[in-house]
Structure 1
Amino acid sequence: MRFRDSRLLRTVLCTLLVLSGNVFALDWTHINYHQVWVCPGGGPIPTFEEPACKTQSFFSSDPQGQAIWLKARLHLSEHWQERTGPYAFYLFAKASSEVYLNGRLLGTNGRVALDGQQELAGRMDTRFYVPTDVIKEGENWVVMHLSSHQSLLRLSSPLHLAALGEYQNSTEYFGIEPHIQLSILCVLVLGVLYLLILRLSPLRAQIPAGLLWLFGIAAVQLALEQLRGWISYPYPLHDVRLILILLCALGFGCGLLAYLLRSCQVLINTRLTILALSMSLTLLMVFFSPGFDQKTTLAVAFPVLVGILVSGRYYYQSRTNKALIFVATQCAFLLASILSVQSFHSLLFYIMVTALLGVFLGLHIRHLGELQIQSMIDQQAIAKLQVKLAQLDKTDAQQYLKLTFGSSTERIDIGQLIWCRAAGDYVELHLEGGGERLYSGSLKSLIEKLPATFMQVHRSYLVDLDKVRKVALNKDKAVAGYAFLHLSDGQRVPVSRRLIGQVRESIE
């Protein structure tokens, strides 16, 4: 079979989704979606043989901005005679409606009219009670009168489902999926609360606001996505819901790319340029994309594609596990976005959203753990320094340091020692007057032989605090280092950001 019309292909795909998309729909009998008769609406029920009538698919029928009559076959097999009911006819459509089955009016949903002033908006997903004496085995005929004048958006397919089934809530058609996604929503909300608690803690600087934004916007988008599965609402609100979902998708895509650019240590100017160009292209593609499902997918997928390129370059430069995790999770997320486009972001999509954000959160939790371990090490060093400072008065007035090289030994007056710097297996000793010596050993072993006035102020530097003349923050961005200690010999050494407060207290 050759598909010559893309609408026919879309009809087939939509039919497959409707017939196999959920558990509850398996017990429903759907109308013949492939062939319906459509006539202009507003008057009495037509014979559907008028010249203005035409035959087309159910999903390509369009009541937006007009009123139409629609007639369709409903074939019931023998098993319907074995049931006792009650039954209902379900109509999921962005329209006001009235439905007839085998010539009998089942009910109205809003008020159908030729213009928006006369129309009363119906519900997006509705049901009509069907008496058991109306239906019969074999061919049944359904006639629907539809109008849709109160829309903000014009959808390519405003009619979604028409079927006969057991009488139940119309929202139950969506099956167990909303309940599963409610669990996912709870996970996202817990992530938001956890990040808020961290942002209020002393470690707030280590938790980027972008991650909190991503969790929050994903939770809002998921709630909007599943609103239709939780409650039945008037059809004009469907457009508002779709617009909010699209804005959430754009916000999530933009926030995700900004977060990745920051995490991959891209320079601020380059970061802003990439973000501006990417979001401009995303907005253009979203604007010109024909379908709403495609718009929301592009709003997320294109920024993710750019993020994959950025993360790939970061991995090529750093060869770190973090960069590799970024690339792998984004590729899986992009695949989930593409696979879920026909089902308007299904359960798979939001599972991948939660997994992606969970990976990001896990990386930050690991980083916080490393910072806490380092903080404990620093606190131990500070406590050790405080003990040595307390014992300062007990030190000898004159002390010496022995340096041994082979068979020769040299004794250095510690009072002449100003600062030390680690140099591989040795330590450079810088003395007053510009003299230099080498100590064979580590910085850690050296500090144990020196008086309490010496403090390790950096990973590679040891300083006699009595020789510090000034502590100054680094204002020269061209030179690395947070702050410097200016010493009595005119030299300056870097000081760790974590220890600068302790250094200031020690020299005051």
Structure 2
Amino acid sequence: MYYCDNPLLRLALCALLLVSVSSFARDWVHIDYHQVRVCPGGGPVPTFTEPGCQTQSFFSSDPQGQAIWLKAPLYLSEHRQQKSAPLAFYLFAKASSEVYLNGTLLGVNGRPASDAEQELAGFMDARFYVPPDLVRPGENWVVMHLSSHQSMLHLASPLHLAALGRYQNTTEYFGIEPYIQLSVLCVLLLGGLYLLILRLSPLRAQIPAGLLWLIGIAAAQLAAEQLRGWFSYPYPLHDVRLMLILICALAFGSGLLVYLLRLCQMHTKLQLVILVPGIGLTLLLVFISPGFDLKTTLAVTMPAFIGMCVACWYYYQQRTGKTLLCGATLCAFVLAALLSLQSFHSLTFYAMVTLLLGILLGLHIRHLSEIQLQSIADQQAIAKLQVKLAQLDKASAQQYLNLTFGSATERVDIGQLLWCRAAGDYVELHLEGGAERLYSGSMKSLTDKLPATFMQVHRSYLVDLDRVRRIALNKDKAQPGYAFLYLSDGSRVPVSRRLLAQVRESIE
């Protein structure tokens, strides 16, 4: 799998990448990849003049299922040779290997052999220490013995890199890209966690499980993709990693198409008519396409293209901003993939996937906000309706409140009651004309006996909202309450800050 990217798709990251890896990348001296002499066999080092030897590209050389010898020139400037930093020869290949520089064995990665029984699997990315006196200015010769018998998959290009550079970990070659991918992975995981929390909330029925599935699959694919940038592993595991990435890509593409069809609210039969041929076509293209980079890209791009067509059709039918934004994002996603089929599934893919999932998540968060606002509006309308109904009930029937003092009972006309105030074990009743009475009981028990037009506006105050004429903020901080209600008889009652909005809505 190549780790080269199309610069046209990475302009936004160029400066950052150059700052972090330019000093390391300039120290690398690559072999002449186009003038490699290749000879078959697993015996001793050949002279490379044998009849079976041929000159070809390093990347077209194939040790899979056999053992081969490679010889390539490496040109070193005098300035580079004079540097005192320790050197290493790096070989990134899906193979076991042994490397010679100028006729001297540098080391062995695994054990290359002509058959699988004799071969010991080496690491995918190998590093060999180079003694300072072994290199010379000008032309140097590198000889590599490679074999790859323990593979499940046959790759189009199993050899990735052969170069001389400063002695460091092999993962340093990938620069800061693994760290950027880790940041993207953290964003995906945080988005998935947030969505999971929403799923567990009372509004869980409004959160589609498909979006959570897409985030999880994208995070799993990104985690598998960045493994090579974090540590080196035996080359047979490279096949497992590639298969995991491809399976995740197919699952993400299929899940994305299913999600988009449901988002466009299509009926089940039409969904199946689009989904089954779409997934079948995707599998066919993945099967016939060469190289896992292209397979992985097509596994996601083809369903995304079908989903883009569906979103555009739905926008034409419904003319909603949600489908317009979704269709435009999918269009950008597909366009980016078409411009770089061989490298799109790398960092560009995960940046675009994160953007796409972020937009879909944002659409659902906005939808939830609209539902919550509508719920609040409905509750306010119900509260207003209840007040109006209470006013009608109050006007249609004369109501009384019985006050008991010892053996005596007094009936107080509720229509004369303006406001009430809690006073220890009693409640003061303030009536029209300035009259006052005492109710023996709690504020809550009194509230249960009064019409719904009476509302508790403060911890100690209860008011008939029909008598409110004006609301004003409390400028006298020595007085309790955030604001005051001015009643029809000129009295005023404090209102707490917490209940002020509800009071305003009830009397409007």
SS of the equivalent of 2:126 reads strand
Of 338-347 and 28-37, deviating more is 338-347
In the TM superposition, what are the counterparts of 1:182-261 in structure 2 within 5 Å?
Answer: 182-261=182-261
Aligned to 1:94: 94
Alpha-carbon distance in structure 1 between the residues aligned to 2:360 and 2:231: 33
Range that drifts further, 80-89 or 245-254? 80-89
TM-score relative to the length of structure 2: 0.73
Q: How far apart are residue 339 of structure 1 and its match?
A: 3.3
Report the equivalent of 1:262: 262
SS in 1 for 2:134: coil
Cα distance in 1 for residues equivalent to 2:122 and 2:5: 23
Tell me: CA distance 1:273–1:350, structure 2 relative to 1, closer, same or farther (3 Å): same
Aligned pairs for 1:117-136 within 5 A: 117-136=117-136
- Unaligned runs of 5+ residues in structure 2 are 9-16, 399-450, 453-508
Residues 90-118 of structure 1, C-alpha deviations (whole Å, 9 max, x = no match): 00000000000000000000011111121
Moved more, 34-43 or 132-141: 34-43
Note if 1:166 corresponds to 2:166.
yes
In the alignment, what sits opposite 1:421? none
SS of the residue 1:142 aligns to? strand
- Give the aligned residue type for 2:120: L
The alpha-carbon deviation at position 35 of structure 1 amounts to 1.2
Match of 1:363? 363
Q: For the residues of structure 1 that align with 2:70 and 2:190, how far apart are their CA atoms?
A: 47
Residues 336 and 344 of structure 2 are in contact (CA less than 8 Å); yes or no, is this contact kept in structure 1? no
Shift of 1:123: 0.4
TM-score, length of structure 1 as denominator length: 0.73
- Structure 2: how far apart are the matches of 1:344 and 1:266? 30
8 Å Cα contact 1:15/1:33 also seen in 2: no
Match of 2:312 in 1: 312
User: What's the % identity of the aligned pairs?
Assistant: 73
* Contact 2:31 2:162 (C-alpha < 8 Å) held by counterparts: yes
After TM superposition, the structure 1 stretch with the greater mean CA deviation from structure 2, 345-354 or 281-290, is: 345-354
Q: 1:307-355 CA deviation, whole Å, 9 max, x = no partner? A: 1110111111111211111111001111222334323623222111111
CA distance in 1: counterparts of 2:304 and 2:325, whole angstroms: 14
Q: 1:331 matched to which residue of 2?
A: 331
Question: Which of 61-70 and 348-357 deviates more?
Answer: 348-357
In structure 1, distance between residues paired with 2:259 and 2:132: 59
Counterpart for residue 464 of structure 1: none
Q: Equivalents in 2 of 1:231, 1:340: separation in Å?
A: 27
Q: CA deviation at 1:223?
A: 1.0
Query: Matches of 2:233 and 2:81 in 1, distance apart?
Result: 33
Secondary structure of 1:143's match?
strand
Give the direction of change, closer, same or farther, for the CA distance of 1:256–1:28 in structure 2 (3 Å limit): same
Task: Give the drift of 1:382.
Answer: 2.8
The size of the alignment, in residue pairs, is 388
> Structure 1 15/90 Cα, relative in aligned 2: closer, same or farther at 3 Å?
farther
- Distance (whole Å) between structure 2 residues aligned to residue 376 and residue 16 of structure 1: 50
TM-superposed CA distance for 1:180, in Å, is 1.1
Aligned 8 A contact 2:37 2:70 in 1: yes
* Alignment partners' CA distance in 2, 1:346 and 1:391: 67
Aligned to 1:7: none
Shift of 1:289: 0.9
Deviations 1:115-163 (A, max 9, x none): 1121111000010000001000000000000000110100000000000
Question: How far, CA to CA, are the matches of 2:264 and 2:256 in structure 1?
Answer: 12
CA shift for structure 1 position 255: 0.8
CA distance in 2, matches of 1:223, 1:108: 30
CA distance in 2, matches of 1:370, 1:132: 69
Kept in 2, the 8 Å contact 1:98–1:145? The answer is yes
Q: Is the 8 A contact 2:6 2:340 kept in 1?
A: no
- SS of 2:116's partner is coil
CA displacement 1:39-93 (0-9 Å, x = unmatched): 1121100000001111111000000000111100000012223300200000000
Question: What does 1:282-301 correspond to in 2, within 5 Å?
Answer: 282-301=282-301
- Cα distance in 2, alignment partners of residues 216 and 230 from structure 1: 21
Change (3 A) 1:274 1:323: same
Equivalent-residue separation in structure 2 for 1:118 and 1:352 (angstroms): 45
- Secondary structure, counterpart of 2:221 in structure 1: helix
Question: Could you say what secondary structure the match of 2:336 adopts?
Answer: helix
Using the TM superposition, name which of 336-345 and 319-328 deviates more: 336-345
CA-atom RMSD in angstroms: 2.4
SS state at 1:120 partner:
coil
**CA distance in structure 1 between the partners assigned to 2:140 and 2:201 by the alignment:** 66
Q: Which runs of 5+ in 1 are unaligned?
A: 1-9, 399-450, 453-508
Are the equivalent residues in 2 in contact too, given 1:41–1:146 (CA < 8 A)?
A: no
Counterpart for residue 108 of structure 1? 108
* Alpha-carbon distance in 1 for matches of 2:286, 2:96: 29
Structure 2 letter corresponding to 1:108: V
1:374 aligns with 2:374: yes
- Aligned residues of 1:340 and 1:349 also touching (Cα < 8 A): no
SS at structure 2 position matched to 1:202 = coil
- Partners in 1 of 2:92 and 2:7 — Cα distance? 16
Work out the CA distance in 2 between the residues paired with 1:314 and 1:60: 46
Report deviation, 1:385. 4.1
